[in-house]
Amino acid sequence: MIGKLNHLAIAVPDLAAGARLYRDTLGAQVSEPLPLPEHGVTTVFVTLPNTQIELLHPLGADSPIAKFLEKNPSGGIHHICYEVQDIQAAAQRLRRDGARILGDGEPKIGAHGKPVLFLHPKDFCGALVELEQA
């Protein structure tokens, strides 16, 4: 069911410092910061030959990233995103198998304008999983 690794998201306490680290120290191609108020994050995209890394920083009062950074003040891997062909079919299969889809269980439009859903980390080896319709 899952296809390519679309991105790995890393929550960072300092977006400029994170961007510098990836651009200057690791020598990667790094975007300008992109505020996504409807998702409560500002992101920097790091483009690698085979996938992307997203640096996430909280934006606004009830950002989903803020709590994560409270628990992980120096930042950390926040989620991993796999591509699927058909998000509704994926959701149906996951519900059938008893996996918990976060929120109301319905796919939402994600940070890239495509339908996504998030799966409970406790059902997936302790990692928050995002599925994105490719």
Count of positions on this chain that bind Co ion (CB under 5 A): 3
* Rounded Cα–Cα distance for residues 9 and 7 (Å): 6
9 vs 90, beta carbon nearer Co ion: 9
Among 9, 69, 129, 131, binds Co ion (CB under 5 A): 9
130 is catalytic: yes
Shortest distance, position 6 Cβ to Co ion, whole Å: 8
Of the candidate spans 8-16, 19-27, 41-49, 119-127, the one that interacts with Co ion by CB under 5 A turns out to be: 8-16
Q: Which of 51, 58, 53 is nearest to 72 (CA)?
A: 58
Shortest distance, position 80 Cβ to Co ion, whole Å: 8
Site membership for Co ion, residue 46 (CB under 5 A): no
Neighbours of 48 (CB within 10 A): 13
Shortest distance, position 66 Cβ to Co ion, whole Å: 16
* Rounded Cα–Cα distance for residues 43 and 31 (Å): 9
- The sign of the CA dihedral 36, 114, 128, 28 is negative
9 vs 119, beta carbon nearer Co ion: 9
Chain residues 50-109 in contact with Co ion, contact rule CB under 5 A: 81
Alpha helices in the chain (DSSP H): 15-20, 64-71, 87-96
Question: Which DSSP symbol is given to 103?
Answer: T
Residues identified as active-site: 130
- Tell me which residues touch Co ion (CB under 5 A): 9, 81, 130
